[in-house]
Copies of this chain bind each other. A is one copy, B any other.
Amino acid sequence: MENTQLNGDVNHRKAGRALSSAVSVTVADLSPLHRARLEYFPRLPPILKGAFGWREGEPTNSADDAEEIKGYFPNLYGQPPVFIAPNRGGPVTIGKTLRVGVVLSGGPAPGGHNVISGLFDYLYNRNRDSVLFGFLNGPSGIIKNNYVQLDEERIYPYRNQGGFHIIGSDRTKIETPEQFEKVDETVRKLDLDGLVVIGGDDSNTNAAILAEHFVAQKMKTKVIGVPKTIDGDLRNEFVETSFGFDTAVKVYSELVSNLGYDAISAKKSWHFCRLMGRSASHITLEVALQTHPNMALIGEEVMEKKQTLTQVTRSIADLIVERATMGKNFGVILLPEGLVEFMPDVDKLILELNEILAGGHLEEDQIIPKLTEQSSYLFRSLPPLIAKQLTLDRDPHGNVQVSKIESERLLIQMVSEELKERKKAGLASCSFSPIPHFFGYEGRCSLPSNFDCNYCYTLGHTAGALIEGGRTGLVATVRHLTKSPEQWVVGGYPLTVMMDIERRKGKNVPVIKKALVDLKGEAFRIFSEQRGSWRLTEDYRCPGPIQHFGPMADSINFTLMSEARDTVA
């Protein structure tokens, strides 16, 4: 197979065509766009279609805490990144017969199906005897040895489609010795050469631990991670973007921009839009850049400026009053899901509540005396329903479930009270008609953009190539993503290179560092330059729905365009 251009794309197309009639019963009621997308052939870097060699980079370190990370990963630590490179007499892939497992981990993100189809096509086009197993319903499927064999017939209806439902997903972490034993058993039973873990930062951390474990056990199974998350917080100088972010932000941007036009058409509503993104505000920042709302709250900035809930409430009220004096009783405000957790006063209150309620449920009047003065004041100023939510809804560890707080409704109530008080004090009078929105689940399983289709299909191929090349403990990477796929550089970086030590549940553990919004980065810089002009005008920008045909079908999100680091040597 050396030096031979593989006709993988042609083979797939034929297979697909044959199948589209073979599986006609199943696909009978597919929508026209669903059918059309089945026929879309993702763009791939040409190097993945033929024989290729490998280029290794320099040995690596971890993001921080080198000695501790080394302690956790004695076998994997320090390995160099590898890149798929033109074959110039170096080692060459040979189309090995491979047995590979793939698993989806965590919340769905558009493009997951293309990682799987890309992986399948890579394996199948190199060697018809290779086998791909899909573990069912997430990592728990590995533990339970619950899988299906993925062949063209099974994969075809999911090509370029949204969702994770081809094999399902869950949030199981493989942690306990019993779980590791079960995993070893499964991997041995299936005689796996490799395991591809498609997931976010935690899942990729888990992938690294598995990779290290298999090496330590002298098992042949290689583990490759694939960077997934719509939140965009799995991103660093090695991973330019996680897949799914591009599609999700486009879905949300369309919706927010429709609300902007609604605001300026009906001229009577304030739309408060909470967007997914609990740990980081990348989605909110991107959607703001795409749509130009009157205000967008960025959690990282709130944290840096130590803005309290009261301060944020007042700043929103200021905007509403300012626009009201211009006769504009309408507008659009964006906020990230995790907003309140970035506020120092709310954060403090939650810590105290966790402590106080550790022993079990208490009534509000029992709680208040136990709080510090500041937290007591904040707690009493919260809308009753939110205060109740904080004390009642707790997770299995007894902690307050901050993620359940509908912060757009919290802010609406806080701002309403603030406006009433200003009115009472004779300071301001304005008509305030707020409408809460939450955009999250709508973007996780939508039809992937061409970018996510191409990126994921390439990631799937790359993961296959890395396993074929005998690599382990790497995350599949595609560099130069803002260029055309023909110019993409593919390979793998050690998962350890993205890690540091963090304290979780009272223990020091190695984790992949989450990327927060960089307040000195290009995207935030442009946002902070422009947002002043969005406050009092209605400069709403309308990106429209994702187009899969026509001149803007291959557009790329703004965050990636402005911040992609082209630093590969």
Contacts and interface: CB of A to CB of B under 8 A. Distances in A.
Interface of A: 29-34, 36-37, 107-108, 137, 161-165, 168-170, 251, 254-255, 258-262, 264-267, 269, 271, 290, 292, 385, 435, 437, 441-447, 538-539, 541-553, 555
Contact of A542 (B164, B269, B447): B447
A261 B162 contact: yes
B262 A108 contact: yes
A319 B450 CA distance: 37
A479 to B, nearest CB: 25
Given A258-B162, A551-B36, A445 B544 contact: no
Nearest to A106: B266
Contact of A548 (B108, B255, B543, B550): B550
A125 B552 CA distance: 32
Contacts of A548: 544, 547, 550
A169 B30 contact: no
B34 A165 contact: no
A29 B541 contact: yes
Contact of A549 (B258, B262, B266, B547): B547
Nearest to A267: B168
B34 A445 contact: no
Given A165-B261, A170-B266, A255-B255, 8 more contacts: A31-B543, A164-B266, A168-B264, A168-B265, A269-B441, A271-B441, A385-B385, A544-B548
Contacts of A553: 549
A555 B33 CA distance: 10
A450 to B, nearest CB: 12
Given A542-B31, A549-B549, A262 B447 contact: no
Given A258-B444, A446-B254, A542-B447, A164 B550 contact: no
A511 to B, nearest CB: 23
Contact of A31 (B31, B269, B544): B544
5 contacts: A34-B542, A137-B267, A163-B264, A545-B546, A548-B550
A33 to B, nearest CB: 4
Q: Which of A292, A539, A550 is most buried by chain B, counting CB atoms within 10 A of its CB?
A: A550
Nearest to A104: B265
B107 A266 contact: yes
B550 A169 contact: no
Contacts of A260: 445
Q: How many copies of the chain does the oligomer comprise? A: 2
Nearest to A406: B436
Contacts of A31: 290, 541-544
B37 A163 contact: no
A-B pairs with lowest CB-CB distance, top 6: A549-B550, A163-B261, A261-B445, A545-B545, A33-B544, A164-B265
A390 B437 CA distance: 22
A187 B423 CA distance: 40
Contacts of A162: 258, 261, 542
B258 A442 contact: yes
A552 B33 contact: yes
Contacts of A555: 32
Given A163-B261, A164-B265, A164-B266, A254 B36 contact: no
B36 A262 contact: no
Contacts of A168: 264-265, 267
A374 B259 CA distance: 41
A543 B33 contact: yes
Nearest to A262: B445
A108 B259 CA distance: 11
A412 to B, nearest CB: 13
Nearest to A435: B441
Contacts of A34: 541-544
A254 B545 contact: yes
Contacts of A170: 266-267
A43 to B, nearest CB: 17
B261 A251 contact: no
Contacts of A437: 441-442
A273 to B, nearest CB: 10
Contacts of A262: 108, 163, 441, 444-445
A44 B105 CA distance: 51
Given A447-B544, A545-B447, A545-B546, A163 B32 contact: no
A555 B290 CA distance: 27
Contacts of A542: 30-31, 33-34, 161-162, 447
Contact of A265 (B33, B108, B258, B385): B108
Q: Which of A107, A169, A437 is most buried by chain B, counting CB atoms within 10 A of its CB?
A: A437
Nearest to A443: B258
A162 B31 CA distance: 25
A385 B385 CA distance: 10
A288 to B, nearest CB: 13
Contacts of A538: 165
A266 B258 CA distance: 28
A376 B355 CA distance: 43
B161 A442 contact: no
